[in-house]
């Protein structure tokens, strides 16, 4: 029974920052490459990384949030030194010059390796982001109990 625990990894992607998202995806793809069953649970700011990038929100606040917190992999910036977007651009250039995979590529690689991506229904509801605003790779939208269920079976659970 304990052997099954050795093969699961759960990542809670709370942050919508480029640097943290990158770390999360490197860990997810690395774990998947090592034969682990990986689940990524995207909540709050993390939802940005699995959004298609269009406008979101239905109420006034929801629309304002959707405007200021536009989703999509191209819009995530580093947690520090974003400098109005300059930092994001600089980081992307540096990564490209050193042949490090970009966030979008890592996300596609993760999906290709069978990483399961889930959206958090609560934060989706609060931020007024619908299932249709998320990329196709997201297999389901679940609540905390489902996430904890996965975490309980995982050898490693990380909050990013």
Partner 1 sequence: MSETMKADKELNLQGLMCPLPVVKMSKAIHDVPVGGVIEATATDPGVLADIPAWCKSTGNEMLKTQKEGKVIRFWVKRQK
Q: Which residues would be at the binding site for partner 1 (CB under 8 A)?
A: 26, 29-30, 32-36, 98-101, 106, 109, 113
CA 37, 12, 49, 15 torsion: positive or negative? negative
To partner 1, the closest distance from the beta carbon of 103 in angstroms equals 13
Question: What CA–CA distance (Å, rounded) separates 127 from 123?
Answer: 6
The DSSP output letter for 127 is T
* Residue closer to partner 1 (CB basis): 34 or 64: 34
To partner 1, the closest distance from the beta carbon of 47 in angstroms equals 23
Radius of gyration of the chain (CA): 16
To partner 1, the closest distance from the beta carbon of 36 in angstroms equals 8
* Residue closer to partner 1 (CB basis): 2 or 99: 99
To partner 1, the closest distance from the beta carbon of 30 in angstroms equals 4
* Residue closer to partner 1 (CB basis): 35 or 132: 35
Question: What CA–CA distance (Å, rounded) separates 103 from 115?
Answer: 15
To partner 1, the closest distance from the beta carbon of 65 in angstroms equals 33
* Cβ neighbours around 123 below 10 Å, total: 16
Q: Could you tell me if 27 and 109 are in contact, meaning their C-beta atoms sit under 8 angstroms apart?
A: no
**DSSP states of 77-103:** --SS--GGGHHHHHHHHHHHHTTPPPH
* Residue closer to partner 1 (CB basis): 109 or 144: 109
* Residue closer to partner 1 (CB basis): 59 or 99: 99
């Amino acid at each position: 029974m304990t052997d099954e625990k050795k093969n699961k990894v759960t990542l809670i992607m709370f942050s919508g920052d480029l640097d943290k998202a990158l770390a999360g995806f490197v860990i997810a793809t690395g774990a998947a490459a090592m034969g682990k069953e990986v689940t990524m649970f995207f909540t709050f700011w993390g939802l940005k990384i699995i959004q298609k990038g269009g406008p979101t929100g239905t109420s006034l606040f929801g629309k304002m949030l959707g405007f200021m917190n536009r989703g999509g992999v191209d819009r995530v910036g580093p947690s520090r030194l974003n400098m109005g977007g300059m930092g994001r651009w600089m980081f992307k250039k540096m990564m490209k010059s050193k042949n490090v995979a970009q966030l979008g590529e890592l996300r596609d690689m993760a999906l290709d390796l069978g990483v399961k991506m889930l959206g958090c229904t609560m934060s989706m509801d609060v931020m007024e982001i619908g299932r249709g605003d998320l990329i196709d790779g997201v297999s389901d939208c679940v609540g905390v109990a489902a996430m904890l269920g996965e975490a309980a079976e995982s050898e490693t659970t990380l909050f990013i």
